[in-house]
Amino acid sequence: MKLFWAMVARFNQPAQVITTVFGVTIILGTVLLSSPLATASGVPADWLTALFTATSAVCVNGLTVVDTATHWSAFGEVVIAVLIQVGGLGIMTLATVFTLLVSRRLGLRARLSAQAETRVLNGSDLRRVVGKVVLFNLTCEAVVGTVLTLRFVLGYGEPVGRGLYLGLFHAVSSFNNAGFALWPDSLMRFAADPWVCLTVAAAVIVGGLGYPVVFELRRSWRRPSRWSLLTRITLTVTAVLLAGGTLVFLVTEWTNPRTLGPMDEHGKLLAAFFTAVMPRSAGFNSLDITQMHPSSWLVTELLMFVGGGSAGTAGGIKVTTLGLLTFIVWAELRGESRVNIGHRRLTEAAQRQAVSLTVLSVALVALFTYVLLVLSPQSLDHVLFEVVSAFGTTGLSVGVASAASPAAQVLLTLLMFVGRIGPLTLGSALALKERGRRYELPEEEVIVG
């Protein structure tokens, strides 16, 4: 722990800390998964399979090139679970650390304003805040693991030991938005089981909200008027995306005989809600993704690209970024020179960060999609789905990763890594690199559009 704090104090650039920590963890995970003990057959996994799986686990992605349930031994599955825990907990911890670092770089007046606005980020007690992140993570996983264990033992007749193992593994995987499952069909066998689906969905949502939001809700959930701008945007956009996604999947898949068609009304509602939650960065599926309509794929890709909340376990550009972009566009359409959200004015720095992050993310997805189309014989819709899933650390797959060439798998591995550390690194770097000018250059009008 002392070494961690020494690293934080030593490095000025967040990219150095994040890249180093995640890179070292991935290398260690690759070595462990390359061991004969890690595979069910006893034959060591090739380096690419081990690297891809380790990267997917540490980046809490969920994309795989082999079936987790049959290819890996119990030792290999435990290694994957530990990598997920380290990756998910590391993201939350590092995100909180760098959020506080941003606050510390501000002047006294701006810092006090920021703390008054968030009401949860106290730069004077960094270790206490990070300690609460760890406690919150482990507590949620324990609760989810208990519910799932009881359901597997009492509802499906699993032995107590096996049920506990399944419950804890999927609690870690769901809360950290990883999406690794110990069944070949993910959670399709539980599509009509609310105990499993709603528990997993709740873990995914809570883990993806972000620690600052959850901490503030715990303190003042009865007083919405006191919520910070971050909390209000995160909850509003999350609710809109969940409700909108559920409605779209109900409409488009209602009569599809390969997805929602054979289910009753309650089963359809549960499966549609679960399918709307998972693209937020989790990667479990209770429906066969490959059998869904193209329109459902498009909505899934949009949800995967957006992801979840800031300083949480979810990936994507984050719901806060989408919320800020919405208000920026609305202000422009109304001809307003300032972007106002409620009773607050959005800073120009936050506007630049939101636009920069989104543009760079779109460019990254487009670039990797083009390269994968060159390397893979798959169609555009399949490749784009897999690329967005890798970038958004979602893990939903239509089979491109497992059937891809070694070069394409290396590319997806890189994309998972960049997609996981990219948004956080970019957001922190933009804030920490902000510079003031002592002069202003003359303005000149440019035609736009």
Q: What is the DSSP string of 375-417?
A: H--S-HHHHHHHHHHHHTT----SSHHHHS-HHHHHHHHHHHH
Tell me, what's the pLDDT at 131?
A: 75
- Give the model confidence (pLDDT) of 308-328 as tens digits: 888 777 888 999 999 999 999
Amino acid identity of 273?
F
Tell me, what's the pLDDT at 221?
A: 79
Residue 437 included in any domain: yes
Give the tokens for residue 256.
């599809």
Give yes or no for residue 133 having a pLDDT over 50: yes
- Give the model confidence (pLDDT) of 102-111 as tens digits: 555 544 443 4
Residue 166 included in any domain: yes
Question: Which residues neighbour 68 within 8 Å (Cβ) at sequence distance 6 or greater?
Answer: 77, 80, 180, 181, 182
pLDDT grade, residue 391 (50/70/90)? very high
Tell me, what's the pLDDT at 434?
A: 53
The CA-based angle 112-117-123, given to 5 degrees, is 50
Q: Which of 83, 78, 87, 72 is nearest to 39 (CA)?
A: 72
pLDDT grade, residue 297 (50/70/90)? very high
The CA-based angle 279-378-174, given to 5 degrees, is 20
pLDDT grade, residue 349 (50/70/90)? confident
Least confident of 158-162, 204-208, 343-347: 343-347
Give yes or no for residue 407 having a pLDDT over 70: yes
Tell me, what's the pLDDT at 301?
A: 96
Residue 225 included in any domain: yes
Give yes or no for residue 157 having a pLDDT over 50: yes
Residue 270 included in any domain: yes
Rounded Cα gap, residues 313 and 203, in angstroms: 11
Domain, as residue range, for 13: 2-444
Percent of the chain surpassing pLDDT 70: 84
First-to-last CA distance in the chain? 52
pLDDT grade, residue 90 (50/70/90)? confident
The CA-based angle 44-48-52, given to 5 degrees, is 110
User: Is residue 395 within 8 Å of 63, Cβ to Cβ?
Assistant: yes
Rounded Cα gap, residues 155 and 269, in angstroms: 21
Q: Is 231 strand, coil or helix?
A: helix
Task: Give how many domains the chain has, as a whole number.
Answer: 1
Q: Which of 335, 342, 408, 339 is nearest to 369 (CA)?
A: 408
Tell me, what's the pLDDT at 215?
A: 83
Question: Which residues neighbour 333 within 8 Å (Cβ) at sequence distance 6 or greater?
Answer: none
Q: What is the mean pLDDT of residues 4-32?
A: 72
Give yes or no for residue 286 having a pLDDT over 90: yes
Tell me, what's the pLDDT at 117?
A: 32
Residue 449 included in any domain: no
SS3 readout for 31-68: HHHCCHHHECCCCCCCHHHHHHHHHHHHCCCCCCCCCH
